[in-house]
Amino acid sequence: MTSPTAQESTRLIPVARGNLPALGHAYHLWRHTLEFLDSLRAYGGVVRINIGTLPMYMVTDPELTRRVLTSESRHFETGGRMGDNLALIFGSGVGTINGDGHRRQRRILQPLFNRSYIAAHTDVMRDAVRGRVSGWREGIPFEAAAEMDRVMVAAFLTTLFGPTLPAPREEEFYRLLRTLMKGVMRKTVAPSWANRVMVTANREFDRALARLRQIIGDLIREGRQSPEAAGGVFRAMLAARDPDTGAGMTDAQIADEAVTMLGTTGEAPGTALAWALHEISRNPDIQRRVRSEVDTVCGGRPPGPADLAALEYTRCVLTEVMRHHGPGYLFTRWTTAPVDLGGYLIPAHANVAYSQYIVHHDPAVFPDPQRFDPDRWLPDAPTVSRSSYLPFGLGSRQCLGENFSWTAMLLTVAEIAARWDLHPHRSRPVKPVASTTVRPHHLTITPRARTTGPGAA
């Protein structure tokens, strides 16, 4: 048990209002997600909510959230309701295991996700993105969230398995992942009794998981039999060795890591890109600045790693998208012992949650948090608290796929800006809906071919 500092004293953990019989706060968390999360900040640094009758301790203070992820992380293992449900999909992948197993897997996988390795795969990733973006039709609107999910799934599948994966298999991966990730959030926020009666939804989840595991297992067997035919990061995973022991990964470990990578690097960056298209399409000045930067940096040629590093303003737009719009909003941990967190006494074996949305919309950290302002991230702008910016987490469990996600998102925006002017299909406000990520509901974008500039048709 950790001890409070001299400035901290034991605080009673309040219970949020709106606790309903049998449901607890699950109804508010599911139906009014962002409004409910915003309301929790008023209770103090930690507030208790109930999922059914199960207590969950929500950390709302940015500094306490940082402690959970960094200096106090030894007391907060991966797990809790969301972590346990993710483990149904990811198995014992690096995102769900703890202790020595986590450290070992991270040591093996880390080289496959550093900047230089991802840079070496930029060309195949870019070609996958271009294959989707160049297929848009002039003046024909598309649903942004679904399309950006497909772009990211295509980019990552190409990076993971190489460019020869058949298109029908790519579409099947997309559908399976959507079913599974939606199921995870449903299982997380619904009371246990409600999950038990959702028979049809649970069967769909189980079928999708079995099919995804079957596909991955087949690919692993094919890769073991013909290593020269395996492509991308997958080939490197088959050959990867623990730098300390020289041991490789078993087929089960490779399957868990492949599914983990697919689940964590598809929907979140896809959702962020959908929101980016929303902001770019409805803000002519932002669109002009992004387009001008892409034209200046790339000059009409395919963007490479050096070009992506030079897209300063475009990166600011994406940085602000991930602050303002999420995409993540709820993550859970499991306490290994009683913990004193800033004077709040949290019991052992408790579900502890933190929210990127709560931290990123705290006015004490990000002034005027409801305003979308990419300029707040420019180098010469007033300093913002980067220690409270956590779209990829913090500490020893920071997302391994961060470099991939940045590369894929910057490539996608650059490819779109070089070819298309974007316009909102409808003028009505876009509603954010919390699923696995905070997704824009019925966001449709109309692309118009550019008539000027290096990328003009």
Q: What is the pLDDT of residues 26-77, one digit of tens each?
A: 999 988 999 999 999 999 999 999 999 999 999 999 999 999 999 999 999 9
Question: pLDDT tens digit string along 273-303?
Answer: 999 999 999 999 999 999 999 999 999 999 9
Among 246, 316, 272, 265, residue whose Cα is nearest residue 156: 265
**Would you say 28 and 36 are in contact if contact means Cβ atoms under 8 Å apart?**
yes
Binding residue per annotation — 399?
yes
The structural domains of the chain, with segments of one domain joined by +, span 26-449
**In the predicted model, is pLDDT for residue 20 greater than 90?**
yes
Question: pLDDT tens digit string along 205-243?
Answer: 899 999 999 998 988 888 888 877 677 788 888 888 888
For residue 353, how many other CB atoms are within 10 A of its CB? 26
- List the single range of 181-195, 300-314, 333-347 with lowest mean pLDDT: 181-195
Q: Output the CA–CA distances (angstroms, integers) from residue 295 to 234, 290, 419, in the order listed.
A: 34, 9, 10
- List the single range of 181-195, 238-252, 364-378 with lowest mean pLDDT: 181-195
**Would you say 145 and 428 are in contact if contact means Cβ atoms under 8 Å apart?**
no
Among 120, 123, 104, residue whose Cα is nearest residue 112: 120
Q: Which stretch, 54-63, 173-182, 192-201, has highest mean pLDDT?
A: 54-63
Q: Return the amino acid letter for 28.
A: H
**In the predicted model, is pLDDT for residue 147 greater than 90?**
yes
Per-residue tokens: 203: 């069967």
pTM of the complete model: 0.90
**Would you say 315 and 407 are in contact if contact means Cβ atoms under 8 Å apart?**
no
Mean pLDDT of 152-170: 83
- List the single range of 122-136, 140-154, 371-385 with lowest mean pLDDT: 371-385
**Would you say 5 and 30 are in contact if contact means Cβ atoms under 8 Å apart?**
no
Q: Which CATH class is domain 26-449?
A: mainly alpha
3-state DSSP assignment of residue 368: coil
Cα 137-441-423 angle, rounded to 5 deg: 40
Among 226, 212, 208, residue whose Cα is nearest residue 255: 212
Q: Return the amino acid letter for 10.
A: T
